[in-house]
């Protein structure tokens, strides 16, 4: 199912976005940028650090075991709804059903056998259907 996907992002929950930006931009030399929170989100802005074709995404929040980092598989033109149905058919635990991502794409979270969260992401340019 994921053989044609690629890792598009790694998501971290961090205690301080400003110090995170200083480390990844100032110390490691990565390009960073802010994205505004989507309507209805409480946490404000999020930080992105760009590395090759992938992105590190930082949300302010408590880091908990099995919650972060979250590996995000970019589905490309694959139908995220169909992929989640395939996961359900394989008895995979769905943590968060298909929902809108802050950038207009779609996302869904599921757990591996040890409870680590993995995520599917369908970019907004590939979203051709509504929830």
pLDDT tens-place values along the chain, 131 residues long = 777 778 888 888 888 899 899 988 988 888 999 987 666 555 567 899 988 888 888 888 877 766 778 888 888 777 899 999 989 999 999 999 999 988 888 999 998 876 778 899 998 876 655 45
Q: Is 19 helix (H, G, I), strand (E, B) or coil?
A: helix
Q: State residue 126's pLDDT score.
A: 61
* pTM for this predicted structure: 0.68
Q: Are 51 and 8 in contact (CB under 8 A)?
A: no
Structure tokens at 39: 């309507």
For residue 15, the tally of other CB atoms under 10 A from its CB is 10
Structure tokens at 68: 């972060």
Q: State residue 35's pLDDT score.
A: 83
Structure tokens at 102: 């802050």
Q: What are phi and psi of 47, to 5 degrees?
A: -110, 140
The residues, ordered by sequence, that sit 6+ positions from 77 with a Cβ below 8 Å of its Cβ are 126
């Amino acid at each position: 199912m994921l053989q044609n996907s690629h890792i598009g992002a790694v998501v971290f929950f961090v205690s301080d976005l400003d110090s995170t930006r200083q480390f990844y931009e100032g110390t490691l030399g990565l390009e960073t940028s802010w994205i505004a929170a989507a309507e209805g989100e409480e946490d404000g802005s999020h930080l992105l650090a760009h590395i090759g074709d992938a992105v590190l995404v930082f949300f302010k929040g408590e880091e908990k075991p099995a919650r972060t980092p979250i590996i995000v598989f970019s589905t490309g033109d694959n139908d995220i709804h169909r992929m989640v149905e395939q996961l359900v058919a394989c008895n995979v635990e769905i943590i968060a059903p298909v929902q809108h991502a802050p950038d207009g794409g779609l996302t869904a979270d599921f757990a591996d056998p040890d409870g680590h969260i993995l995520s599917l992401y369908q970019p907004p340019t590939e979203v051709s259907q509504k929830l």
